[in-house]
Amino acid sequence: MIKITLPDNSVKEFSGPVTGMEIAQSISPRLAKDVLSVSVNGEIWDLTRKITDDATVKLHTWNDREGKEAFWHSSAHLMAEAIEYFYPGTKFGIGPTVDVGFYYDIALPDNQQLTEKDLQKIEKKMLELARQKNDIVRQEISKKDAMEMFTKKHDELKQELIGELEDGTITLYNQGNFTDLCRGPHLPNTGYIKAIKLTSIAGAYWRGNEKNQMLTRVYGVTFPKQKMLEEYLVMLEEAKKRDHRKLGKEMELFAFSDAVGQGLPLWLPKGTQLRMQLEDFLKKVQRMYGYDQVITPHIGDVKLYKTSGHYQKYGKDSFQPITTPAEGEEYMLKPMNCPHHCEIYKVKPHSYKDLPIRMAEFGTVYRYEQSGELHGLTRVRGFTQDDAHIFCRPDQLKDEFKKVIDIIFIIFKALSFDNYTAQISLRDPKNPDKYIGTAENWDKAERAIIEACEEKGLNTITETGEAAFYGPKLDFMIKDALGRSWQLGTIQVDYNLPERFELEYIGADDKRHRPVMIHRAPFGSMERFVAVLIEHTAGKFPLWLTPDQAVVLPISEKYNEYAEKVSNLLNNSDIRTLVDDRNEKIGRKIRDNELKRIPYLLIVGEKEEESETVSVRRQGEGDLGVKQVGEFADLVAAEVREQLSGLYN
């Protein structure tokens, strides 16, 4: 008998080898219809693969990320099969899933190029192949046989990938007339795929290296129902309107310059104001929770990052060391702030009475992202983390962790991120070499996070293998106004860096002890957070945060002087105000400033100058009538107070 343990700890027994699909069928016909993949002892498998020993099993549907990945991974193979039908001799690179959908990097024969029009015929062929309901079959072969197979196909891309694999069994997947190198998992057959849209074509260097050949990257998305695709396409159109790169340019928040370098954003005055408001907000919250601000250099000695383990782990993805010709010293652009904060902790000895020590920094760090991976503010090479590190005694760990959760909730409330999931990210016990530190310390760190979440009443999900290399973490996954998921806010427990940096405090027993370290970044990075915020709000920020809260619009040049007077009065009342004194008609000024998402438009002319008033328009609401300047200032102050009420209690 084979015993199968399900997520609720119930156990099902089977008389012999059993598949994930058979397990689903034994639970309910409905589940068997919806299930897409299965986890067996934490490893994702095909539903048709036989389980031959006792195992812990979790079934995945479309509602699970693992289910979507199997669906979209199979869809990438379906697209490749359709492309090969039209373009025999195509070479296939890699075809992974992305946040929504999939892509495949390909090299068409004879330097042919795909066009948007070609995507339509490929889509049509994909639907035809899907309706054939061809089984997707896993096949195990030797590395030697796999190499021979793709050599015969003249596919150098696959040959390169196979050459890097360890000797032993390699898996292929077959469907219809198509075979691909792949570890899986996949759907049982192509018939699950009902709705298809190939969304775009782009150029991509093979394996992200600009020294390699340029391939064609084809993006697509598929769904199990046509209605789901239609809803997604509507959302996609709205997402284009909200694209932070588009709105950031229109609102004059940030820019990029080839002269400065790829992936290095330039914050314009309005974007800088936005960032400063966010920073000031978090600094105020941090003061309430006992944090001290620190500042550390943008570079550090390579030995610092070797001590922390960052060099060994991320050295290839960092900007390479800078060597000083005269002294022969090696420095790196700072990839992380935590090693610097460890050194600040070591500046003087500490007693158990000094702890917890909480230090915070808006610290800019640098990582070398491949040019093909850069994307607006969400993927850059230089970014600022709202970083903080708490050094505490083990008996303080859980309470400190819960206080950080409270800070993250304050931020989410202030910015209307109401839909979120808390994800506990643990180590992968099957790959201990991925992590530093002892199993004992990892056990203590993971237990502290789990217990803190339980005591806070958080609804959590657990992801094995998603921990940082030095410790487990709690990530907050928010859904924006369009229902897209983003990882914002992270808290990590770390017993390992204090060991590596030999951090100590003198305990009540007069003996030396190691503190525990909590890494914390509620925003994550300022760049990525602002990008998400722009798209979540469509650029219509809450009044307390928006760079320009009001703009004064004189109806002609005669009233520019009065407009400046109003602007000065409001700025002196801490209401961020500017004047649009262009020689344009008032209707044009109103339209232009509404496009800039400025909340309040103040129109002034003869009547307003005589009565020292302003005619007030509110973004999205229209005319609010005539108000005294002081009355308007009170209105804005009251709205800001209401938006921030209760956050600092």
The domain limits of the chain are 2-61, 67-233, 266-296+337-537, 550-644
Residue 389 annotated as binding?
yes
CATH number of 2-61: 3.10.20.30
Q: Report the predicted TM-score, pTM, of the whole model to 2 decimal places.
A: 0.80
pLDDT in tens, 124-166: 999 999 999 999 999 999 999 999 999 998 889 999 999 888 8
Beta strand 382-392 with 357-366 is antiparallel
Identify the pLDDT of residue 585: 93
Contact between 526 and 386 (Cβ < 8 Å): yes
Identify the pLDDT of residue 347: 96
pLDDT in tens, 273-324: 999 999 999 999 999 999 999 999 999 999 999 998 878 777 777 788 888 7
Question: Is 473 one of the annotated active-site residues of the chain?
Answer: yes
Question: Is 338 one of the annotated active-site residues of the chain?
Answer: yes
Residue with tokens 């695709």: 229
Mapped onto helix, strand or coil, the DSSP state of residue 614 is: strand
Please tell me which residue in 473, 528, 536, 589 is annotated as part of the active site: 473
Percent of the chain with pLDDT over 90: 72
Looking at 159-305, which runs of residues are DSSP E strands? Answer: 169-175, 178-181, 195-205, 214-223, 254-255, 266-267, 292-293, 299-301
Looking at 396-482, which runs of residues are DSSP E strands? Answer: 420-426, 460-464, 473-479
* 57, pLDDT greater than 70: yes
Question: Is 182 one of the annotated active-site residues of the chain?
Answer: no
C-alpha neighbours within 13 Å on the C-beta side of residue 73: 23
User: Higher confidence at residue 380 or residue 317?
Assistant: 380
- For residue 90, the Cα-to-chain-centroid distance in whole angstroms is 33
Residue with tokens 């359709």: 82
**CATH for the 266-296+337-537 domain, from 3.30.470.10, 3.30.930.10, 3.40.50.720, 2.120.10.30:** 3.30.930.10
Among candidates 105, 4, 106, which has minimal Cα distance to 59? Answer: 4
Q: How confident is the model at residue 649 (pLDDT cuts 50, 70, 90)?
A: low
Please tell me which residue in 73, 340, 381, 519 is annotated as part of the active site: 519
Tell me which H or E stretch contains 566: helix 560-572
Identify the pLDDT of residue 378: 92
CB atoms within 10 A of CB 218: 25
Question: Is 453 one of the annotated active-site residues of the chain?
Answer: no
Residue type, 211: K
pLDDT in tens, 110-127: 888 898 889 999 999 999
550-644 maps to CATH 3.40.50.800: yes
Mapped onto helix, strand or coil, the DSSP state of residue 152 is: helix
The lowest-confidence range among 170-174, 478-482, 553-557 is 478-482
Percent of the chain with pLDDT over 70: 100
Residue with tokens 């310390």: 441
- Which pair of structure tokens corresponds to residue 4? 């199968």
CB atoms within 10 A of CB 375: 13
C-alpha to C-alpha distance for 161 and 179, rounded to whole angstroms: 15
Q: How confident is the model at residue 229 (pLDDT cuts 50, 70, 90)?
A: very high
Question: Is 389 one of the annotated active-site residues of the chain?
Answer: yes
* 192, pLDDT greater than 90: yes
* 508, pLDDT greater than 90: yes
Residue 338 annotated as binding?
yes
CATH number of 67-233: 3.30.980.10
Identify the pLDDT of residue 383: 95
CB atoms within 10 A of CB 157: 21
